[in-house]
């Protein structure tokens, strides 16, 4: 996620870190070459583009803008829902930690370390990383490592431990029900994140937009070259930057748990939970918070 102050004029004109320009620069370069070819062709054969009008492209550009706004809104909804789910995860972890404050030191440490393992494991699971290694740092070896869903197995292990405490009379039924409610909230967060990660936008929906964008940007120079000459490059590159940039931004937001600059900072969010839980345990080395690098928080 990009974290930077409000950009000034210099940043607007020259900022590169965290911008979408880095990802679309080669597409813009290709469009510039096509535009130059169109201008040269219009100069060599002046009558070639005499009957080509820019009016159809204006209508197509409006339709493409509306279509792209719908897709980007759908992608942003996925990004924002993912952020709300991770906010709910932090709330549930803090609430469970408060409820565990009356337990003895060993039981409290087991629950809070389990929350660290669950959070770190979930972040890596959503990014296709080594979730087992992350969980093992706090939960050790156990049956969860052989489960098809190790993150859920860790949560199941936490719930089982709370149930045993209730059966042994170490917590009362009301206390147990409150703990179980927060564990259920964590399970809902995991299910919601997995739903977003495993359900992309319909392929045909994105494919139509990609194709239309490329066709529009590749044909636009031939509609303007006869009338504008070398000035054709200015409106063509501006339109291409807008459409390609929004298209690439939508691709990033569609998968909010990825590693692109505009994706959610899962590492930083997981580190927040990790630091707070370890601080409550006491005696544990607390890792430093994750800071942005070149304005990008991972």
161 vs 5, which has greater pLDDT? 161
Residue 109 in this model has a pLDDT that exceeds 80: yes
Does 54 map to a domain? Answer: yes
Does 294 map to a domain? Answer: no
The reported pLDDT for the residue numbered 203 is 81
The reported pLDDT for the residue numbered 218 is 86
Does 290 map to a domain? Answer: no
In which band, very low, low, confident or very high, does the pLDDT at 4 lie, cut at 50, 70 and 90? low
Does 96 map to a domain? Answer: yes
Element (H, E) at 288: none
Domain containing 181 equals: 9-281
Does 291 map to a domain? Answer: no
The reported pLDDT for the residue numbered 245 is 87
Residue 6 in this model has a pLDDT that exceeds 70: no
The reported pLDDT for the residue numbered 194 is 95
The reported pLDDT for the residue numbered 7 is 59
Structure tokens at 34: 């096509």
**Number of C-beta neighbours around residue 203 at 10 A:** 8
98 vs 12, which has greater pLDDT? 98
Please say whether the beta carbons of 244 and 59 come within 8 A.
no
User: Which segments of 100-172 does DSSP mark as H helices, in order?
Assistant: 105-126, 131-139, 150-167
Residue 13 in this model has a pLDDT that exceeds 60: no
Q: Give the global pTM.
A: 0.87
Domain count, the chain: 1
73-85 residue pLDDT tens: 989 999 999 999 9
Burial class (CB in 10 A: 0-12, 13-18, 19+), 168: exposed
Does 127 map to a domain? Answer: yes
The rounded mean pLDDT for the chain is: 85
């Amino acid at each position: 996620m990009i974290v930077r102050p409000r950009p000034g004029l210099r940043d607007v004109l020259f900022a590169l870190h965290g911008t979408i320009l880095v990802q679309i620069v080669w597409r813009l370069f290709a469009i510039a070459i096509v535009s130059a070819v169109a201008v040269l062709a219009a100069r060599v054969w002046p009558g070639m583009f005499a009957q080509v009008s820019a009016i159809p492209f204006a209508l197509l550009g409006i339709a493409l803008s509306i279509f792209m706004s719908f897709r980007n809104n759908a992608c942003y909804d996925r990004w924002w829902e993912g952020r709300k789910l991770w906010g709910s995860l932090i709330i549930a972890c803090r609430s469970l930690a408060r409820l565990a404050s009356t337990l003895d030191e060993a039981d409290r440490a087991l629950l809070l370390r389990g929350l660290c393992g669950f959070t770190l494991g979930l972040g890596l699971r959503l990014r296709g990383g080594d979730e087992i290694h992350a969980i093992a740092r706090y939960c050790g070896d156990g049956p969860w490592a052989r489960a098809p869903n190790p993150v859920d197995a860790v949560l199941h292990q936490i719930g089982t431990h709370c149930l045993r405490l209730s059966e042994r009379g170490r917590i009362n039924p009301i206390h147990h029900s409150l703990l179980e409610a927060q564990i259920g909230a964590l399970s809902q967060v995991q299910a919601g994140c997995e739903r977003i990660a495993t359900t992309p936008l319909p392929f045909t929906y994105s494919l139509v937009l990609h194709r239309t964008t490329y066709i529009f940007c590749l044909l636009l120079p031939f509609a303007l070259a006869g009338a504008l000459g070398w000035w054709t490059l200015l409106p063509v590159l501006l339109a291409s930057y807008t459409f390609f940039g929004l298209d690439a931004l939508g691709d990033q937001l569609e998968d909010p748990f990825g590693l692109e600059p505009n994706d959610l900072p899962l590492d930083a969010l997981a580190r927040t939970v990790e630091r707070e839980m370890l601080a409550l345990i006491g005696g544990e080395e607390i890792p430093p918070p994750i800071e942005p690098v070149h304005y990008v928080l991972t």
